[in-house]
Amino acid sequence: MPNTFEFDRRAYNEAQKAVRWYAKRSRGVAIRFAVTLEASLVKISQIPESFPVYLAGTRVFGVPRFPYMIIYLHEGDSIKVVAFAHAKRRPGYWRKRLTS
């Protein structure tokens, strides 16, 4: 059975904000970013336990060629994306999402 995704609404908003940021600078880069993000989610869904254990029991996937990380929890057939975080800003800000 394939893994299903659940997105914390704040993580979803973070991804949208990042796409908009790139789009203001370059439509082509924004498209490459969105495609890379989608491919990253596909890879996570295929092999979720393969990526490093991170903070507070989460796992982390570094988005190739972009300074972003997908932080997620994997339980059974469900993957909960907790944050879509910039790799160089505010580490761990999303931890409070794990209890809400």
Residue 78 inside a domain? The answer is: yes
Q: Mind listing the pLDDT tens digit for each residue in 28-42?
A: 999 999 999 999 999
pTM over 0.85: yes
Q: Please list the residues that pair with 53 across neighbouring strands.
A: 59
Range of the domain at 74: 4-88
Asked whether residue 1 carries a pLDDT value surpassing 50, the answer given is no
Q: The sheet that has 68-75: what strands, in order across it?
A: 4-7, 78-86, 68-75, 59-62
Residue 10 maps to which CATH number?
A: 3.30.2310.20
Total domains in the chain come to 1
Q: Which two tokens stand for residue 7?
A: 């997105």
Q: Mind listing the pLDDT tens digit for each residue in 38-88?
A: 999 999 999 999 999 998 899 999 999 999 999 999 988 899 999 999 998
